[in-house]
Amino acid sequence: MRASLASSIAVTCAAVLALPVSLTAPAAASAPPAAASALPPAPELPGSTQSLPLEPLGAATRALGGTTGSGEQGLTRRDVRPFSLVGVVWDDPTAPLHGTVQVRTRATGGGTWSAWQDVETHNEEHGADPDTAEGSTRALRGSTAPLWVGDSDGVEIRVRGREALPAGLRLELVDPGESPAAAPERPASGEGAPRTRNATAPAAPAALTGMSAAEAAASAVNAQLAPYGATWIPALSKEETEREARNMPQTQAAPAAPAAAAAKPYIGPQPKIITRKGWGADESIREKGFVYTSTIKAAFVHHSATGNNYTCSKAPTVLRSIYRYHVLSSGWRDLGYNFAIDKCGNIYEGRAGGIAKPVLGAHTLGFNTNSMGIAVLGTFTKSNPPAAVVTAVARLTAWKLGLHGVNPKGTSYLISGGGNLYKKGTKVRFNSIAGHRDGFATECPGAHLYSKLGTARTSSAAYQGRP
């Protein structure tokens, strides 16, 4: 396992929990099949990853109209073990992939091949800040965005470069494993959800609950908000949320947050949030411990660019696939985003460390410090986000930004960590609810979702009770 992380802007929370947090070493990515007709058995693990090196396409390259100077690699049609998400990685995380990546897949058991689908190649704008331990670990790889394709057992891929392709190109095929209880197939507006939270239970030793030490640690950081081992954190009324914020210890959020809440209770009602246990995160594959930043000044909204071909009951499966791709394929310490939202408006806990705490993410390169990342599962370059998505963004930011005294309609300054549009050390002003493209030359979160952020800011401020 990679070494535990620490940086000058973050501290680990091992001392906060009276729990061991040692983890078993993560399983290495499964070796690629030696031949299409000889597939090794899938490992008995909650999910698996097949990593297949790409090859020169030869005659197929010429048939595609490629030139010898640009370079084309890929794999012809082949049988593989079942998978649901694809992506491409390469050796050097700083090397861009200038070109196109297209895949087509065969539905499991049906023999029907999909049309060619584009994979988003510009993924370098995501990730940890360059000078942090996570951003400089040897495990990091360059990577495309992941693409959700559903249950599949056959694949074909072609990568066409406009210039020399990066070295070590590999196709990653992710099987997310068995799903826990399905997410609700309705917008999580709070209607029908409990309006008072369940009695909190103290952190219990893992041995008493059947949970691993890593699962226990990931659950215990939310122990003030929900019972130990909870699969979801219930919604609260605004009054209950304000009372909880006043009683929240200073280690739970930014040091000034409880005092600010007492003076000006501009905090939106806590929304229902599905925990990592609720969406089935395999806690053994991430880095042990948690890393924090000082506070939260802004929220960056993203789309996952994984496509919209999923039902909300499958959202936990999509999220587990992205998590596995971020950690085992791209080499990150955990899921990059702090929160995720599906197209029905259900909200999910992302990177481990506590939903009310300022957990350092790897979502907006150079601006992860003192910010949070929210990923909407889907692609919104040409598609409109459902109204439930915009409502969920507003509800989540009203609560989380409110804990840190931030006005969703205001602006905040962040210091660039480099690797983006701004020189390292530059002080940059952002909307408190910003789009990823505000800090990097990227389409994320897609033009149609980006155009809804103004509505989200207004609604978020209203949830906080601001005039």
Q: Would 18 be classed as within a structural domain? A: no
For 380, residues 6+ apart whose C-beta sits below 8 A from its C-beta are 303, 445, 446, 447, 448, 449, 450
Residue 358 has a pLDDT of 97
Residue 145 has a pLDDT of 92
Q: Would 218 be classed as within a structural domain? A: yes
Same domain, residue pair 273 and 343:
yes
For 16, residues 6+ apart whose C-beta sits below 8 A from its C-beta are 221, 251
Q: Would 442 be classed as within a structural domain? A: yes
Q: Would 273 be classed as within a structural domain? A: yes
Same domain, residue pair 144 and 244:
no
Phi, psi (deg, nearest 5) at residue 393: -60, -45
pTM of the predicted model over 0.85: no
Same domain, residue pair 171 and 214:
no
What pLDDT digit, counting tens, does each position of 336-353 carry?
Answer: 999 999 999 999 999 999
Same domain, residue pair 158 and 228:
no
Same domain, residue pair 336 and 377:
yes
Same domain, residue pair 287 and 170:
no
* Rg for the chain, CA atoms, rounded: 22
Q: Among 156, 175, 194, identify where a domain stops.
A: 175
What pLDDT digit, counting tens, does each position of 35-71 carry?
Answer: 333 444 444 447 899 999 999 997 554 554 544 445 8
The number of domains in the chain is 2
Nearest to 350 by CA among 366, 364, 361, 358: 361
Same domain, residue pair 141 and 218:
no
Q: Would 189 be classed as within a structural domain? A: no
Q: Residue 88: is its pLDDT beyond 90?
A: yes
Residue 305 binned pLDDT confidence (cut-offs 50, 70, 90): confident
Residue 169 binned pLDDT confidence (cut-offs 50, 70, 90): very high
Same domain, residue pair 110 and 214:
no
Domain that holds residue 417: 206-464
Q: Residue 12: is its pLDDT beyond 60?
A: no
Residue 253 has a pLDDT of 46
- Higher-confidence residue of 419 and 294: namely 294
CATH for 146: 2.60.120
User: Encoding tokens for residue 234?
Assistant: 């219930």
CATH for 365: 3.40.80.10
Same domain, residue pair 144 and 271:
no
Same domain, residue pair 163 and 286:
no
Q: Residue 7: is its pLDDT beyond 50?
A: no
Same domain, residue pair 220 and 338:
yes
Residue 254 binned pLDDT confidence (cut-offs 50, 70, 90): very low
Same domain, residue pair 229 and 163:
no
Q: Would 380 be classed as within a structural domain? A: yes
User: Encoding tokens for residue 360?
Assistant: 């350092």
Specify which of 53-67, 69-83, 87-101, 180-194 reaches the highest per-range mean pLDDT: 87-101
Residue 180 has a pLDDT of 60
Across 238-252, 276-290, 364-378, 422-436, least confident range? 238-252
Q: Would 15 be classed as within a structural domain? A: no
* Nearest-angstrom CA–CA distance, 289 and 35: 40
Across 17-21, 101-105, 270-274, least confident range? 17-21
What pLDDT digit, counting tens, does each position of 113-131 carry?
Answer: 999 999 998 766 667 777 7
What does the pLDDT average to over 2-27? 35
What does the pLDDT average to over 432-455? 89
Q: Would 154 be classed as within a structural domain? A: yes
